[in-house]
Amino acid sequence: MFSRIVFVTAIAGGLSLAGAAGARAQGMPMHHPKGTQRTITGTVVDVSCKFGQGLSGDSHRQCAQICADKGIPLAILSSDGKLYIPTSTAMPGEGQNERLKEFAEQQVTVSGTVFPAGGANAIQIASIERKS
């Protein structure tokens, strides 16, 4: 009896996912959060080492780049202490480490669309420049 319930639940779950994918393919509107266009200044940080190990600065730059290559997310810690998590406009989303890696542990000025994101902020980056 238990295996029959598990099987039925698995089939129902699969149909739900297939239905959702089909709805997207048929052009049903998706809810997009409203963001604001902003320019922020801050440091590109390796979130694992910065917040988990307390590592940062020029001496950590190469480590941050290696972590980025391994998939550890890079983010922007603004000069006012707010964290901005880079996101993608693509569906499915694309990682932003390749865009940020050359700026690891350096000051940047970033422009894009900012959204609230569970106590932090998300930013869809339009442009990024090393701060001079």
Q: Tell me the per-residue pLDDT of 53-73, one tens digit each, with 9 for 90 and over.
A: 999 999 999 999 999 999 999
Evaluate whether 42 touches 76 at the Cβ level (below 8 Å): yes
How does strand 36-46 pair with strand 107-117? antiparallel
Q: What pLDDT was estimated at residue 35?
A: 92
pLDDT at 11 over 50: no
**What's the maximum distance between 2 C-alpha atoms anywhere in the chain?**
68
Question: pTM for the whole thing?
Answer: 0.73
- Domains of the chain, by residue range, sit at 1-31, 36-130
CATH architecture assigned to 36-130 = Beta Barrel (2.40)
Whole-angstrom CA distances from 89 to 1, 60, 109 are 45, 30, 20
